[in-house]
Amino acid sequence: MRMKRVVRPTVALVALVVGACVRPSATPVVSPSPAAPTPVASAPAAGVTARAAAVVPNPNAPKVLVIATGGTIAGVQDAPGTLGGYRAGTLTAEQITASVPELARYARIETEQFSNVASTLVTPEMWVKLAKRINVALQRGDLAGVVVTHGTDRLEETAFFLYLTVRSNKPVVVVGAQRPATGISPDGPINLLSAVRTAASPKAVQKGVMVVMDDRILSARESRKLYQRTGGFDTGDMGMLGVVASQGPEFFFAPVRRFGERSEFDLDRVDTLPKVELTMSYPGGTGQTFTTNPKGVVVATTGMTAAENATYRALRQTGVVVVTSFTSGENVNGGGGGGGGDGPPPARVDTTARRDSVARPVVAPVPPGVVALHLTATKARILLMVALTKTNDPREIQRIFNEY
């Protein structure tokens, strides 16, 4: 991976940004775009160049590393300035930052291209590599923080994985866009500016990994994509830490669960994550079975049927760790009945020998299930994958779920 520092965009670099709008790309198409006349490139280039000329860089600003992974924030259209389809993951990290010359007022920007794909192509193996890269980068004494640009379809999952595995208290901000860079009123530039201002701020230290979108600062533990429009990221009942105001980031809350330097998850010897499946409970359901059992299963449920209970008890008996998560992700009750747990316990079986008969066979106890508290099933799956790199004891995994 090659690191470059960008202080101010040049006219040539701006031309590259515009040129990317009409270049063919191997990146998957997000949606089909009708044929359209070749766009006029001079106007956008001139606009960015004029803005760049008006910006006076701050030579004493903190250093922020922008790591680009692709997504809509790096997407361009065949017909710029329309509502048409676009190709995610087209612009480079340098092109994205060059299109926002105002960044130079708040940070000295370095860029790095980690990948350039639609976020649906991001894999758990890529999570591990990205977390390792960020952990190494944040050891630099001259670096204030890191910004990761990312597609929004999988942004919340990547952000939560980083929340668990980045072992530094320096700010890490994940940012994306709901509109492509060449679309009408793109949200990527202002989101990127807000993200960089947050990563550069001393106020953001010890706040964990954050998602910054639409001038809101969200904890990565709670952030969720609710819909495909600007303002589409939220945190449910909890998790909004602050806002990015005209004077910069303002924090009003901070996460209290374990993260950063307090995280126990060390990825130094981890390259792949244990396989964990995600299933759903529903009326009349019988539970999911597998030809080859995974290491763990997460069940999204508000309360399981008797057949589902039996299926997942059988999986636990074979050593599969089963986690239940309330479907909304909002539940904070520790288990039981309709709380997304495993239902009432079965009647106690007497396994002792009677004096007047042959001893009954001793039945092995069923390992307990694990309950996720205020965590969506998709994020419970990620936490279970990470926890299984340390232990497969469900009691210890429950302790992990209670602390993170």
**Per annotation, catalytic residue among 27, 69, 72, 235:** 72
> In the prediction, which pLDDT does 1 show?
47
Query: Is there a catalytic annotation at residue 305?
Result: no
3-state class percentages of the chain: helix first, strand second, coil last, to nearest 5: 30, 20, 50
Residue 216 in this model has a pLDDT that exceeds 50: yes
CB atoms within 10 A of CB 350: 8
329 contacts 379 by C-beta, under 8 angstroms = yes
> In the prediction, which pLDDT does 11 show?
40
Tell me, rounded to whole angstroms, the distance of Cα 250 from its chain centroid. 22
Residue 164 in this model has a pLDDT that exceeds 80: yes
Angstrom CA distances, 165 to 120, 128, 238, stand at: 21, 9, 21
Q: Which of 127-131, 171-175, 233-237, 273-277 has the lowest mean pLDDT?
A: 233-237
CA dist 49 and 52 (Å) reads 5
CA dist 210 and 77 (Å) reads 29
Tens of pLDDT along 275-328? Answer: 999 999 999 999 999 999 999 999 999 999 999 999 999 999 999 999 999 999
CA dist 67 and 134 (Å) reads 9
Confidence of residue 246 (pLDDT cuts 50, 70, 90): very high
Tens of pLDDT along 165-193? Answer: 999 999 999 999 999 999 999 999 999 99
Average pLDDT over residues 60-65: 98
Closest C-alpha to 132, from 162, 159, 153, 108: 162
> In the prediction, which pLDDT does 29 show?
39
**CATH architecture of the domain with residue range 276-403:** 3-Layer(aba) Sandwich (3.40)
Any residues with CB less than 8 A from the CB of 179 and at least 6 apart, and which?
72, 185, 186, 187, 188, 230
Average pLDDT over residues 240-247: 96
> In the prediction, which pLDDT does 219 show?
97
Residue 226 in this model has a pLDDT that exceeds 80: yes
DSSP assignment of 13-71:
HHHHHHHTTTS---SPBSS-----PPPP-HHHHHHHHHHHHH----TTSPEEEEEEEES
Tens of pLDDT along 252-281? Answer: 999 999 999 999 999 999 999 999 999 999
Q: Where are the beta strands (DSSP E) in 194-320?
A: 209-213, 216-219, 224-225, 233-234, 240-245, 248-251, 276-280, 296-300
Say how many Å lie between the first and final Cα of the chain, rounded: 31
Give the DSSP H or E segment for 385: helix 377-387
CA dist 292 and 314 (Å) reads 14
296 contacts 400 by C-beta, under 8 angstroms = no
Q: Tokens 């890191």 — which residue?
A: 146
> In the prediction, which pLDDT does 333 show?
84
- In eight-state DSSP terms, residue 362 is P
Closest C-alpha to 400, from 320, 321, 343, 304: 321
Most confident of 26-30, 225-229, 331-335: 225-229
Half-sphere exposure of 172 (CA within 13 A, CB side): 31
* φ, ψ (nearest 5 deg) of residue 207: -110, 0
Token pair of 384 as six digits = 């279970």
319 contacts 364 by C-beta, under 8 angstroms = no
Question: How does the average pLDDT of the chain come out, rounded?
Answer: 86
Q: Domain map of the chain by residue range?
A: 3-262, 276-403
Note whether 3-262 and 276-403 share their fold: yes
Four-CA torsion 335, 338, 340, 343, nearest 10 degrees: 70
Convert 90-99 to b/e letters by CB count within 10 Å (16 or more is b). Answer: bbbbbbbbbb
Residue 358 in this model has a pLDDT that exceeds 70: no
Average pLDDT over residues 107-124: 98
Convert 317-329 to b/e letters by CB count within 10 Å (16 or more is b). Answer: eeebbbbbbbbeb
> In the prediction, which pLDDT does 30 show?
40
Note the CATH number of domain 3-262.
Answer: 3.40.50.1170
Query: pTM here?
Result: 0.84
> In the prediction, which pLDDT does 2 show?
46
Residue 332 in this model has a pLDDT that exceeds 70: yes
Angstrom CA distances, 110 to 7, 103, 144, 163, 201, stand at: 8, 11, 11, 22, 16
Tell me, rounded to whole angstroms, the distance of Cα 124 from its chain centroid. 11
